[in-house]
Amino acid sequence: MPPEQEALMILTCQRFPRLAGLPCAVDAIVKGGSDRHFYRLSWPDSSEPSMILMVYTLNRRDNPKFVPATHRLAALGVRVPTIHAFDEDRLCVWLQDLGKQDLHSLHQEPWDVRRPYYQAVLREAAKIHTVTETLLSAADLAELEPPFDEALYQWEQDYFLDHYVRGHLGRDFPGTDTTSIENALRDLRRTLGKMPRCLVHRDFQSQNVMLRGSETWLVDYQGLRLGLAEYDLASMLMDPYVTISRSERNELLTFYAAERKLDAKKLQDTFYLCAAQRLMQALGAYANLSRNLGKKSFQQHIPAAVKNLQMVCSESAALAPLAELLS
């Protein structure tokens, strides 16, 4: 066992004295673009259940928000892992092991198999989205990440322009009239920034949904903040990691609207605006992770994200000028 894992086992036995002396298997979990490290700890010669050890850093502002976000979501009845122990000084959290199967693992299954899981996870999202801005106190807001507003939407757009358009595509527009593009981006962030906000997951996509039987459980929600429910919906239903057809997507939007008794047409209109915003953020992230942070695997998701964004731009005249940024 590597020295760093030996140190983690010593720390675990200090937290859980009953585990001292039991042979332990430690498996590193490699997944996603996070700077956190995850380990599955199991005791094969005993009846002790396995657990997940998360070791985080303070390099990202949202990492320390994981524990309070877990407690907040659990209080809402959202399925999230139980926290067994937390060492704030050593930046370690011991969590319930939800298993190895996530929603993404079903991406090649027929829709009849996937449908109930997507419906189940939308029900979990609805529990989060019912918490509106007016229900949160100043103390509540202090526990959350900064809310989505026009400035944050602009940051996401600039991230997309810097890392995907200029960095990945190598494009700039000297001497070119980009007024229509600039106006479309400005109008998008202003429109979204004026809409009433609720609590959102922020990274609501298939790899952040774990499956246990017929139940869906959420992870990676430390970015919890105020925003638009449709942004979460766009993250899940326009997820570049999986293929969801237009009819399947519309079916799920109708399902969600019925679940929350919302106007389906209004929901869909806002959904496409949020989808454009979310996909630009995703493309910026994929380009940055693959080009600058050495995580080349993210480059494979760029074509699907581009295809999705092209489709979204075709759905709205207000978004049409953004298609020019993708070629």
Contact 230, 267 (CB under 8 A): yes
Contact 93, 85 (CB under 8 A): yes
Please, is 40 exposed, middle or buried when counting C-beta atoms within 10 Å of its C-beta (0-12, 13-18, 19+)? middle
Question: What is the Cα–Cα distance from 148 to 309, expressed in whole angstroms?
Answer: 20
Per-residue CA distances from 84 to 16, 92, 134 (Å): 10, 11, 32
Domain ranges of the chain: 3-96, 103-326
pLDDT classification of 192: cutoffs 50, 70, 90: very high
In CATH terms, the fold of domain 103-326 is: Aminoglycoside 3'-phosphotransferase; Chain: A, domain 2 (3.90.1200)
Model pLDDT, residue 33: 62
Residues 68-77: tens digit of each pLDDT = 999 999 999 9
**SS3 of residue 26 by DSSP:** strand
Whole-angstrom distance, CA of residue 312 vs CA of residue 268 = 11
Q: Could you tell me where the DSSP H helices lie in the chain?
A: 3-15, 66-75, 111-129, 138-143, 150-160, 179-193, 229-237, 246-260, 264-291, 302-314
Pairing type for strands 83-87 and 198-200 reads unpaired
Cβ–Cβ under 8 Å, residues 83 and 95: yes
CB burial of residue 327 (10 Å; 0-12, 13-18, 19+) = exposed
The model's pLDDT over 131-184, given as tens digits with 9 standing for 90+, comes to: 999 999 999 999 999 999 999 999 999 999 999 999 999 998 766 789 999 999
Average pLDDT taken over every residue of the chain: 95
pLDDT tens sequence across 3-41: 788 888 899 999 999 999 899 999 999 876 678 999 999
Cα–chain-centroid distance for residue 196? 21
| Other beta carbons less than 10 A from residue 245's beta carbon | 9
Angle at the Cα of 31 from the Cα atoms of 93 and 296, rounded to 5 degrees: 140
Segment 274-279 mean pLDDT? 98
Place of tokens 């962030």: 189
Element housing 293 (H / E): none
As a whole number of angstroms, the longest Cα–Cα distance in the chain is 70
Of 46, 120, 49, nearest in space to 82 by CA: 49
Render pLDDT for 298-320 as a digit per residue (tens, 0 to 9): 999 999 999 999 999 999 999 99
Does the domain at 3-96 match CATH 3.60.15.10? Answer given as no
**Tally of residues, the chain:** 327
CA distances from 178 to 11, 145, 158, 281, 314 (A): 56, 33, 15, 20, 19
Q: What is the pLDDT of residues 110-137, one digit of tens each?
A: 999 999 999 999 999 999 999 999 999 9
The dihedral formed by the CA atoms of 142, 148, 149 and 154, expressed in degrees to the nearest 10: 130
Distances from the Cα of 323 to the Cα of 131, 307, 316, angstroms: 34, 10, 11
DSSP state of 1: -
pLDDT tens digit string along 68-103?
999 999 999 999 999 999 999 999 999 999 999 999
